[in-house]
């Protein structure tokens, strides 16, 4: 409620109470009438004030209602905008979430497929025959990607009846080099699986023994004097086994050096084959050197012969130039003499005409006689 209205009502109540008190005390009719008149004026004035206050209150209420309505409309608009923005952001977030879930699902499928492939690879490597086929396939891919077809052959039977996985056809020296693609994995897997010191020691001994035996087998089977080179290659399709041998089994590596069996991994084999390709290219270039020299000598003879023919042609051109010069001299002389002849004839004709005119009277007299 408005404070002014409250004060007016309180004043009216106070006056009414005062009148009642005066009447009760009996102070006289005149005073009561005067007070009643004043109360009437005050009541009228209070009514007018109350009417003005009511009107002002209505105006303020309308203004307040309008302001409240505008505030509510603005607030509703803001809430609607915020809700729309939140809905848009939520939709975008949900779309991103769905995309990420799709990517995660695809990655999960790839991981599942990869795990299946890893399990398959483990199964392959667990079987000696399958492991040998795996090594042969990897060896074939590497060799075919680097060397020309004429520089290698697979599953070649040597003179001693042993079949080698790959034979590199290199010229002498060094000669054909054999490559074996089988490798001892069981002892290496046991070494990786060992946790206690006794088991680790036993696995290391087993791996060293297996590798030594494999080195001896390669040296006995694939190094044939007079047929192959004095060395051979043991291909390890696993970089891990190769690194383990060079890191922890130095004596085995030195034994392979003495047996002239070079242990190679996929990476080192690629480097070795690239070196061999350069050697083959150099050998082919040397083989063609004699033919190139012969062709160059023949070409030089042709050049000398061409030079002689050009000289002869040059002499012909020189003779033709001389003949043309002589012809030009003759034509100049003829032209000069023709001019002289023309001048001489013209003078003789004039002399003959003059003589004829001088002899005309004599001839006329003779004709008259």
Q: What is the pLDDT of residues 219-272, one digit of tens each?
A: 999 998 888 888 999 998 888 888 888 888 889 899 999 999 999 988 998 988
pLDDT tens column, 109-150: 777 776 555 444 444 444 554 455 667 888 888 988 888 888
Q: From CA 210, how far away is CA 294, in angstroms rounded? A: 55
* Model pLDDT for residues 64-119, shown as the tens digit of each residue: 888 888 888 887 888 878 888 877 887 888 888 788 878 887 877 777 776 555 44
Identify the H or E element spanning 166: strand 163-168
Instruction: Express each pLDDT in 300-316 by its tens digit.
Output: 888 888 888 888 888 88
Report the residue count for the chain: 369
Angstrom distance (rounded) from CA 253 to CA 249:
7
Average model confidence (pLDDT) across the chain = 77
Q: How do residues 329-368 score in pLDDT, each as one tens digit?
A: 878 877 777 776 666 555 555 555 566 566 556 555 545 5
Q: Are strands 232-235 and 177-180 parallel, antiparallel or unpaired?
A: parallel
Band (pLDDT 50/70/90 cuts) for residue 35 is low
pLDDT of residue 31: 59
| Positive/negative CA dihedral, 123, 125, 129, 133 | positive
One DSSP character per residue, 105-129 reads: HHHHHHHHHHHHHHHHHHHHHHSHH
Do 256 and 234 form a contact (C-beta atoms < 8 A)? yes
């Amino acid at each position: 409620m408005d404070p002014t209205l409250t004060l007016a009502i309180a004043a009216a109540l106070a006056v009414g109470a005062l009148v009642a008190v005066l009447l009760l005390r009996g102070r006289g009719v005149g005073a009561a009438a005067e007070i009643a008149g004043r109360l009437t004026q005050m009541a009228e004035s209070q009514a007018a004030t109350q009417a003005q206050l009511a009107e002002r209150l209505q105006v303020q209420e309308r203004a307040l209602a309008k302001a409240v309505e505008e505030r509510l409309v603005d607030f509703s608009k803001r809430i609607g905008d915020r809700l729309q923005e939140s809905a848009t952001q939520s939709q975008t977030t949900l779309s991103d979430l769905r995309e990420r879930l799709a990517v995660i699902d695809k990655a999960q499928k790839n991981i599942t497929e990869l795990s299946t492939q890893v399990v398959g690879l483990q199964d392959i490597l667990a079987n000696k025959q399958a492991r040998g086929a795996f090594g042969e396939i990897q060896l074939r891919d590497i060799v075919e990607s680097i060397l020309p077809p004429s520089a290698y052959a697979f599953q070649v039977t040597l003179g001693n009846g042993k079949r080698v996985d790959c034979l590199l056809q290199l010229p002498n020296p060094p000669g054909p080099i054999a490559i074996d693609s089988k490798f001892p994995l069981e002892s290496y897997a046991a070494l990786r699986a060992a946790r206690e010191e006794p088991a680790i020691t036993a696995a290391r001994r087993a791996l060293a023994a297996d590798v030594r035996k494999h080195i001896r087998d390669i040296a006995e089977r694939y190094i044939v004097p007079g047929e192959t080179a004095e060395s051979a290659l043991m291909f390890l399709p696993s970089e891990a086994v190769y690194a383990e041998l060079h890191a922890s089994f130095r004596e085995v590596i030195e034994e392979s050096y003495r047996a002239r069996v070079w242990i190679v991994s996929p990476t080192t084999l690629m480097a070795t084959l690239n070196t061999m390709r350069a050697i083959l290219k150099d050998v082919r270039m040397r083989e063609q050197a004699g033919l190139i020299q012969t062709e160059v000598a023949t070409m030089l003879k042709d050049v000398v012969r061409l030079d002689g023919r050009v000289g002869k042609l040059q002499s012909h051109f020189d003779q033709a130039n001389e003949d043309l010069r002589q012809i030009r001299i003759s034509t100049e002389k003829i032209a000069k003499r023709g001019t002289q002849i023309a001048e001489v004839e013209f003078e003789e004709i004039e002399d003959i005409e003059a003589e004829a005119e001088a002899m005309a009277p004599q001839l006329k007299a003779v004709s008259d006689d």
